[in-house]
Amino acid sequence: MMRSLLRLLLLLFRKVLHSLPNSWRVALRHQHGLMTLYANALHSSRLFYGMLSDKQLQARYDKLIPTQTVKLTHLDASLSQELTANVLLVANLEQEVEESLRQLSQVDRVNKIFIISNGDISVPQHGNMAVQAVASIKDFSADNKPLIVIRSGECLHKHAVAGFLSYARPQDAKADIVTCDTDRLDEAGKRSQPECYPQWNPDLQLSTGYIRTGMCVFGEALQLCLIESLLSSQQVLSIASWLVEQYFDGAMNVAHCPVTLVHKATETEGNWFACLSKAASQHAWPIQVLPSKFNHNAVIQWHHDAQPLVSIIIPTRNGKDLVKTCIESILTKTTYPHYEILLIDNQSDDQEAVAYFAHLNTTQERVRLIPYPKPFNYSAINNFAVSHAKGQLFAFVNNDIEVISPDWLSHMVSHALRHDIGCVGAKLFYPNKRVQHAGVVMGYGGGAGHAHKFFPDYHPGYLNRLACTNAFSAVTAACLLLRKATFEQVGGFNESDLAVAFNDVDLCLKVAKLGLRNLYCAEAELFHYESISRGSENTPEKRARFEKELTYLQTTWQHYIDADPAYNPNLTLRRENFALKE
């Protein structure tokens, strides 16, 4: 009865909210207390409005399709007519092969079709198309052509070849592989369920195998490598597994075309955890593959010889109860053995807090109290703190954090020690288990915002990106881990321009500029009570400072704000829910 009444009140609240001017709605969303109350009510009612309904999604996609068709037509017209590509069909059922061949006859710029199967499937000729069965590596001839790979039963857009070829040279660096967005095509020819992927995200591939079809491979050596792999393992997830294999074998330049070029049929996607576990064992990759709680995905733990000391840096001003909860949760729950805690006291004047901090300093071997007798400047405090740190890894942790998962630090260290990873962030929850942080997307609010904010803890998120570890352009420093050497290489936090806001985003983007990926670690779960001790931006002085810092971010990192490589240009920047643009 109470839940039904609560749902009714929430529906009424939403109706009133949507009747208000947009400027009012934006102002209300910045009221932290109101949004927390609303999130609590949603959690209690089990209602969730974070994702579009199927009807809303289809309406937006119906508007996007003709726009993309026009774009592809222009791309096709801009290319020389001599540019063509071969197509590789990874076959399953003979009927699906027939359907794919029939559709491929309508696709422009297709030179030859190769079919590779896991059974005795006849290879029919279709019109004037050149069709070649591949039973061994000798049956394949690249002819210096790009190779588009799809599975039987799937279709290509009429101008798919032009789409792939046009994105083969991003920023003048020739791509080895180009991927694309996908959707579903039903028997009536209706397109639906678009999947808008980020630029190549190796960690999302490891966790979910998100690229399972629809890629264009350049260069005969790489094409032969793919053919050889598919001949030995023709499964529904063979393409996804091969991409992981290429990641472990070395760097490859992967570009992404943010246009739907491949239309998938409804099919069984397979068990990615089982597939990756088998591949990891066969190739002796330095990982342990564990099952995820969500959708047959995988949790990856990396093997390292060492367990280096982690310096956990916690700035605070007063906030005895917050600090007590934070530090006690770290000390009593954390399973990672080698860490120290640096409690940085920024001019505390509450005598009860001061006494408690001194008590920690004398009674807890892992805790060191270090005074910082200057005005609050988050960047300066942390830059000062690292000069006292003994660890090879720095963990920047807010004083309003509470540990949930005991292995939070073990998982984060496992990733932070990888040679191609920079900053590692955690999955942070509000006290009601709604998501506070799960990676940072550039462009939200004209600056940056948190992905999947307010989503419930049981939701996998868009493309499973909430449930699984994957790369984002930035992560929050409410709980952020990185190597000491990397921190020093980028000059630490920017204390002159970003005293309070966006300093963590700026740090991450400087790290990304080194060629490292920043990672959201879904297995590191903690509560975040979000700036309780510092307060909100509710004075003219604070708002002016925030606007100045936002302007700095926009000026310095405008190219990330305009086109976040860990996002997709077809997705909205108005909300943190990965919905299609309106």
Average pLDDT of 425-439?
97
CA atoms within a 13 Å half-sphere pointing along the CA-CB vector of 560: 23
- Sequence-separated (6 or more) residues with CB below 8 Å from residue 292: 207, 273, 298, 299, 467, 468
The per-residue pLDDT for range 22-44, each reduced to its tens digit, is: 767 666 665 656 666 766 666 55
Q: What would the CATH number be for the domain defined by 310-562?
A: 3.90.550.10
* Dist. CA 439–CA 106, nearest whole Å: 41
The per-residue pLDDT for range 303-348, each reduced to its tens digit, is: 999 999 999 999 999 999 999 999 999 999 999 999 999 999 999 9
Residue 46 has pLDDT above 60, yes or no: no
Tell me the CA distances in angstroms from 51 to 96, 161, 291, 456, one per residue in order. Answer: 33, 32, 25, 11
* Dist. CA 227–CA 238, nearest whole Å: 11
Closest by alpha carbon to 67, among 260, 265, 263, 264?
260
pLDDT on residue 41: 66
Count of CB atoms situated within 10 Å of the CB of 232: 8
The per-residue pLDDT for range 183-192, each reduced to its tens digit, is: 999 888 899 9
Q: How far is CA 151 from the centre of its chain?
A: 25
- Sequence-separated (6 or more) residues with CB below 8 Å from residue 177: 200, 215, 216, 217, 218, 222, 243, 246, 252, 253, 254, 255
- The per-residue DSSP string of 392-455 comes to SEEEEE-TTEEE-STTHHHHHHHHHTSTTEEEEEEEEE-TTSBEEES-EEETGGGSEEETTTT-
Q: Cα-Cα-Cα-Cα dihedral of 217, 221, 222, 224, to 10°?
A: 90
Residue 1 has pLDDT above 70, yes or no: no
Residue 115 has pLDDT above 80, yes or no: yes
- Sequence-separated (6 or more) residues with CB below 8 Å from residue 333: 403, 406
pLDDT on residue 29: 60
pTM of the model: 0.91
Helix extents (H) in 473-564: 484-489, 503-513, 540-556, 558-562
* Dist. CA 568–CA 114, nearest whole Å: 31
Residues of the chain with CATH 3.90.550.10: 56-270, 310-562
pLDDT tier at 193, thresholds 50, 70, 90: very high
Average pLDDT of 95-103?
87
Closest by alpha carbon to 230, among 85, 86, 89?
89
> Are the C-beta atoms of residues 116 and 227 closer than 8 Å to each other?
yes
pLDDT tier at 410, thresholds 50, 70, 90: very high
Residue with tokens 């990926």: 517
> Are the C-beta atoms of residues 152 and 94 closer than 8 Å to each other?
no
Count of CB atoms situated within 10 Å of the CB of 168: 18
Residue 55 has pLDDT above 70, yes or no: yes
Closest by alpha carbon to 506, among 320, 382, 370?
382
Residue 428 has pLDDT above 70, yes or no: yes
Percent of the chain past pLDDT 70, that is, above it, reads 89
- Out of 138-142, 281-285, 510-514, pick the least confident: 138-142
Q: Which two tokens stand for residue 268?
A: 């069984």
Count of CB atoms situated within 10 Å of the CB of 567: 25
Residue 3 has pLDDT above 80, yes or no: no
Architecture of domain 56-270: Alpha-Beta Complex (3.90)
- The per-residue DSSP string of 125-186 comes to --TT--EEE-SSGGG---TT--EEEEETT-EE-TTHHHHHHHTSSGGG---SEEEEEEEEE-
* Dist. CA 309–CA 393, nearest whole Å: 7
- Out of 11-25, 87-101, 233-247, 459-473, pick the least confident: 11-25
